[in-house]
Amino acid sequence: MKFFKPDYEFDHFTDITIELLKKDNVTTIFSDLDSTLAAHDQLGDHDFTKWHEKLENNGIKLVVVSNNSQGRVDRFTKPFKIIGYGRCKKPTISTIRKIMHEISVKSSNSIFLGDQLFTDVLCGKRLGMKTVLVKPLGEEHEPWTVRWKRGLEASIKKRW
């Protein structure tokens, strides 16, 4: 059960403050994309733009790690000049470990942000990172497979 329980839970990614990140010595946020930073297949909005600017102004790097295609990730990340990787195969950790090595980042200075227990929180925990679970954005547009998993996640959350 401990691998599914996030360190923090928030309604929205913008609830993650610079103060919290600094308290935890976070220099890098590894974040899921769809339903976490934007609704499924949507681009970054005003809230995302302002939040990302705050991160940059405080020396905190955002790295998007998604199970979606590289094309989808690029459409979201390129306008913001964010590092982004598609087809990460979360919750497996080999791809993200390679990314961490490439960009010289340690788990102890990173946090994993996502909207799903079985992919994002589990992946972050397996990497030794603190984890943040946010409520999904645009649930009504999610694929049926994701909506199905939400029911399983709800039953796990009841046990906390």
Length of the chain: 160
The count of other CB atoms within 10 Å of the CB of residue 119 is: 20
Residues 6+ apart with CB under 8 A from 129: 30, 107, 110, 111, 112
Burial-class residue 145 by CB neighbours within 10 Å (0-12, 13-18, 19+).
exposed
Q: Is there a contact between 82 and 55 (Cβ–Cβ < 8 Å)?
A: no
What confidence score (pLDDT) does residue 152 get?
A: 60
Q: Pick the closest to residue 21 from 98, 86, 109 (CA basis).
A: 109
Q: Residue 145: its pLDDT value, please?
A: 66
Query: Could you tell me which residues are beta bridge partners of residue 61?
Result: 28
pLDDT of residue 68: 96
pLDDT score recorded for residue 140: 64
Q: Mean pLDDT in runs of 10 for the chain (160 residues)?
A: 84 97 98 94 93 98 98 98 97 97 97 94 97 85 61 65
List the domains of the chain with CATH numbers.
8-157 (3.40.50.1000)
pTM: 0.88
pLDDT value, residue 40:
85
Rg, Å, the chain Cα set: 14
Q: What is the pLDDT of residue 4?
A: 75
How far apart CA 24 and CA 9 sit, in angstroms, is: 15
Q: What is the distance between the alpha carbons of residues 32 and 19, in angstroms, rounded to a whole number?
A: 21
